[in-house]
Amino acid sequence: MNKSTVTGRIYAEIFRLLDKHPEGLRWSELLKKIKTSDPSFHPKTVNGCVWKLVEKFPDKAYKPEKGLFRLVKYKR
């Protein structure tokens, strides 16, 4: 994950937010929090990053149920 790219910064923010919420975040909450954290992020880029999160980082994030994202380290 290259933090100098826009997508890298978005993924870093996603993981920071998920780390603050061990119970996980729903799709809509995650999108809103990312957009609030940096309004310069384009909404479609944010949407694409969240959409591909589990596929791109299966070792770090998972979906315990539809629409809910959680870090693997908090898996129950």
DSSP state of 2: -
Q: Residue 2: pLDDT above 90? A: no
Rounded to the nearest angstrom, the gap between the alpha carbon of residue 48 and the centroid of all alpha carbons in its chain is 10
Residue 75 confidence (pLDDT):
87
Tell me the pLDDT tens digit for each residue of 43-66.
Answer: 999 999 999 999 999 999 999 999
Do 61 and 72 form a contact (C-beta atoms < 8 A)?
Answer: yes
**Sequence ranges of the domains in the chain:** 6-74
Do 60 and 53 form a contact (C-beta atoms < 8 A)?
Answer: no
Q: Can you tell me the distance from the alpha carbon of 36 to that of 28, in angstroms, rounded to the nearest whole number?
A: 12
CATH of domain 6-74: 1.10.10.10
Tell me the CA end-to-end span of the chain in Å, nearest whole number: 26
What is the DSSP code string of 15-36? HHHHHH-TT-EEHHHHHHHHHH
The pTM of this model reads 0.91
The overall average pLDDT reported for the chain is 94
